[in-house]
């Protein structure tokens, strides 16, 4: 069984280390901040103790996982690894520097993987002389609990590395999907309207945060409403991802950020971690009153949902991923109640096209343009499945 290297000991890095160790691999964990590694290992130990107490794992398994993870004091200790997964700050220059250094340390047969969620895998791979062994392996947080992993080959990645990487991650009992190296890959691209259109509905004064969340959770069946979820993720993080995706798509209006979220981020209202976001999490804070008008709720759900379906259809149209992988990514990566393309079939393709055309005709904004795939399918009377 190959040795696995993990760079970065944040929540994602230690989570990936736990997944690999649980699958039986010897893991080397490195971070430039040695105290961060110690803190991460202590945190993992507490998590494993809780899992044992809850009867989720045996105590012997807990001990084995911890024993398989070795903190490293230098990148040199990545030597001998079969795969190294980088999970550090989303900064292209820093990542390229790390990959360039790794190439000098690791053997020619070592897979060099990046866990980036928003940067170009091709740009990271370009830092290496042998760029064919670089690939994107995007886990979702928390890595031990979230089943989905996006596998993103760069244009330089060899077929052998792509197949070997996917086979390895599959063996870790993860659900893998293959995505083209485009901004946001599958999940972070297709999910943008869940936040963006909800924010737009709020900014137009149609409904408040709590009412929009109620509609998306109780009527549509999403696990969390968009504002609860943004508060959970952190408005600073979510806004930065939105800005990154917007710029990466050459400022396509479909991905335009919201001033509401920008102001919340600027005010330090990040959400749960700061005690205030779209909601006030202080003790004794008043709960917002929800307007449970079914007609209003249906209007909110339909507008957000049709934008999500349009984004999923366009991802398929532009060959970002297969039909099955797009639906699998959204159900397994962000817990959507059903695949968006399945949902489109149930609603009716023509109905989706008509709704998007109505929005476009009302606003005359490019954000509401209908995907050519939906329009062609409606004309042909075809379905996704």
CATH of the domain at 32: 3.40.50.720
The answer to the question of residue 385 being in a domain is: no
- The total number of structural domains in the chain stands at 2
Write the DSSP assignment of 323-340 as a string of letters. Answer: HHHHHHHHHHHS--SS-H
CB-count burial class (<10 Å; 0-12, 13-18, 19+) for 173: exposed
What is the pLDDT, as a whole number, of residue 231? Answer: 96
pLDDT band at 140 (very low <50, low <70, confident <90, very high): very high
> Within this chain, do residues 78 and 211 fall inside the same structural domain, yes or no?
no
> Within this chain, do residues 167 and 196 fall inside the same structural domain, yes or no?
no
Average pLDDT over residues 146-154: 98
What is the pLDDT, as a whole number, of residue 287? Answer: 87
Average pLDDT over residues 221-228: 97
pLDDT band at 329 (very low <50, low <70, confident <90, very high): very high
> Within this chain, do residues 250 and 104 fall inside the same structural domain, yes or no?
no
> Within this chain, do residues 362 and 245 fall inside the same structural domain, yes or no?
yes
Q: In CATH, what number is assigned to the domain containing residue 297?
A: 1.10.1040.50
Average pLDDT over residues 214-242: 95
Instruction: Determine the 3-state secondary structure of 38 from DSSP.
Output: helix
The answer to the question of residue 25 being in a domain is: yes
The answer to the question of residue 183 being in a domain is: no
> Within this chain, do residues 215 and 293 fall inside the same structural domain, yes or no?
yes
Residue positions annotated with a catalytic role = 117, 138, 150, 188
What is the pLDDT, as a whole number, of residue 366? Answer: 97
> Within this chain, do residues 137 and 203 fall inside the same structural domain, yes or no?
no
pLDDT band at 81 (very low <50, low <70, confident <90, very high): very high
> Within this chain, do residues 130 and 19 fall inside the same structural domain, yes or no?
yes
Average pLDDT over residues 209-238: 96
Q: Are 265 and 236 in contact (CB under 8 A)?
A: yes
> Within this chain, do residues 290 and 222 fall inside the same structural domain, yes or no?
yes
> Within this chain, do residues 309 and 171 fall inside the same structural domain, yes or no?
no
> Within this chain, do residues 160 and 293 fall inside the same structural domain, yes or no?
no
pLDDT band at 328 (very low <50, low <70, confident <90, very high): very high
What mean pLDDT, rounded, does the chain reach?
Answer: 96
Average pLDDT over residues 306-323: 98
The answer to the question of residue 111 being in a domain is: yes
pLDDT band at 44 (very low <50, low <70, confident <90, very high): very high
The answer to the question of residue 237 being in a domain is: yes
The answer to the question of residue 32 being in a domain is: yes
Look at residues 119, 130, 111 and name the one whose alpha carbon lies nearest to residue 94.
119
pLDDT band at 241 (very low <50, low <70, confident <90, very high): confident
Domain hosting 145: range is 4-178
> Within this chain, do residues 220 and 96 fall inside the same structural domain, yes or no?
no
Whole-prediction pTM value? 0.94
What is the pLDDT, as a whole number, of residue 336? Answer: 97
The answer to the question of residue 184 being in a domain is: no
The answer to the question of residue 147 being in a domain is: yes
> Which of 178, 203, 236 marks a domain boundary?
178
pLDDT exceeds cutoff 90 at 118: no
pLDDT exceeds cutoff 90 at 335: yes
pLDDT band at 101 (very low <50, low <70, confident <90, very high): very high
DSSP letter, residue 133 = G
> Within this chain, do residues 198 and 232 fall inside the same structural domain, yes or no?
yes
Neighbouring residues of 138: CB distance < 8 A, sequence distance ≥ 6: 115, 116, 117, 149, 150, 151, 152, 179, 185
What is the pLDDT, as a whole number, of residue 187? Answer: 96
> Which of 131, 156, 178 marks a domain boundary?
178
Q: Helices 59-68 & 11-22, crossing angle to 10 degrees? A: 110
């Amino acid at each position: 069984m190959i040795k696995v290297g993990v760079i970065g000991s944040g929540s994602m890095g230690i989570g990936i280390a736990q997944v690999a160790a649980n699958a039986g691999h010897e893991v080397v964990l490195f971070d430039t901040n040695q105290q961060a590694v110690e803190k991460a290992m202590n945190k993992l130990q507490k998590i494993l103790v809780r899992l044992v107490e809850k009867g989720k794992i045996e105590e012997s398994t807990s001990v084995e996982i911890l024993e398989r993870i070795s903190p490293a004091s230098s990148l040199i200790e990545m030597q001998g690894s079969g795969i190294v997964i980088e999970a550090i700050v989303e900064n292209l220059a820093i990542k390229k520097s790390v990959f360039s250094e790794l190439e000098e340390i690791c053997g020619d047969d070592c897979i060099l993987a990046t866990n980036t969620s928003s940067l170009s895998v091709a740009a990271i791979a370009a830092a290496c002389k042998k760029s064919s062994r670089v690939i994107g392996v995007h886990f979702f947080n928390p890595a031990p609990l979230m089943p989905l992993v996006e596998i993103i080959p760069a244009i330089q990645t060899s077929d052998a590395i792509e197949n070997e990487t996917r086979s390895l991650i599959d063996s870790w009992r993860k659900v893998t999907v293959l995505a083209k190296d485009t901004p946001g890959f599958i999940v972070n691209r297709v999910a943008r309207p869940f936040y963006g259109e909800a924010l737009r509905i709020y900014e137009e004064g149609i409904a408040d945060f709590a009412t929009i969340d109620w509609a998306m959770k109780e009527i549509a069946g999403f696990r969390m409403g968009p504002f609860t979820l943004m508060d959970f993720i952190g408005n600073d993080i979510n806004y930065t991802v939105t800005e990154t995706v917007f710029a990466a798509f050459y400022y396509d209006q479909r991905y335009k950020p919201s001033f509401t979220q920008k102001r919340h981020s600027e005010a330090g209202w990040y959400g749960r971690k700061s005690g205030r976001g779209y909601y006030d999490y202080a003790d004794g804070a008043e709960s917002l009153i929800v307007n449970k008008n079914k007609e209003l709720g249906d209007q909110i759900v339909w507008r957000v949902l049709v934008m999500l379906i349009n984004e999923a259809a366009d991802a398929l149209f532009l060959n970002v991923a297969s039909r099955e992988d797009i639906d699998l990514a959204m159900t397994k990566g962000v817990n959507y109640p059903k695949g968006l393309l399945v949902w489109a079939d149930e609603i009716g393709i023509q109905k989706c096209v008509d709704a998007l055309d109505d929005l476009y005709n009302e606003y005359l904004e490019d954000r509401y343009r209908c995907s050519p795939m939906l329009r062609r399918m409606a004309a042909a009377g075809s379905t996704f499945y």
